């Protein structure tokens, strides 16, 4: 196992688009798969969450906006993979503040099964855009000898 440099971390984030977001529910962690968009020039990472005021996600974020996103990709089948872990706060934002990152989200997840249609997200009323304000970011390369 060896650490990834920031350029390699950005490469993983640009090439994937799906990860696991862990939220603090107060009584224990709540981890959900999410699609994300990453704009490497500004290090902006965005997600869209389908929710209502009484959803578990909303309750978790109201309790504590600190989250952790884990992303991984297999590089060579069965022999090596890379992972990235990002910690920070999830903050609601207007779509206009992250158009490039949301365009990446739409492009990267066009073939990902989802209950929401990414091409019509700006018209959706049950989806909220968030930015993950990055506080810590790290990556690892795992390789089998």
Q: Which domains does the chain have, with CATH numbers?
A: 2-143 (2.30.110.10)
Q: Who wins on pLDDT, 89 or 103? A: 89
Whole-number pLDDT of residue 26: 84
This prediction has a pTM of: 0.84
3 Cβ contact partners less than 8 Å away, ≥ 6 residues apart: 138, 139, 140, 141
pLDDT tens digit string along 43-101? 889 988 876 667 888 889 989 999 999 999 988 777 899 999 999 999 998 888 877 77
pLDDT at 126 over 70: no
How high does pLDDT run on average in the chain?
83
* Alpha carbon distance 55, 44 (integer Å): 25
């Amino acid at each position: 196992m060896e650490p990834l440099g920031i350029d390699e971390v950005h490469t993983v984030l640009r090439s994937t688009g799906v990860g696991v977001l862990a939220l603090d529910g107060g009584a224990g962690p709540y981890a959900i798969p999410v699609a994300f968009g990453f704009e490497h020039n500004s290090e902006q990472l965005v997600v869209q969450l389908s929710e209502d005021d009484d959803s578990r996600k909303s309750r978790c974020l109201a309790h504590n906006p600190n989250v952790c996103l884990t992303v991984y990709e297999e590089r060579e089948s069965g022999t090596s993979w890379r992972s990235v872990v990002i910690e920070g706060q999830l903050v609601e934002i207007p779509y206009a503040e992250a158009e490039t990152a949301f365009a990446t989200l739409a492009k990267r997840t066009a073939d990902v099964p989802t209950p929401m249609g990414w091409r019509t997200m700006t018209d959706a009323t049950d989806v909220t855009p968030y930015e993950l304000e990055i506080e810590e970011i790290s990556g690892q390369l795992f390789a089998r000898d």
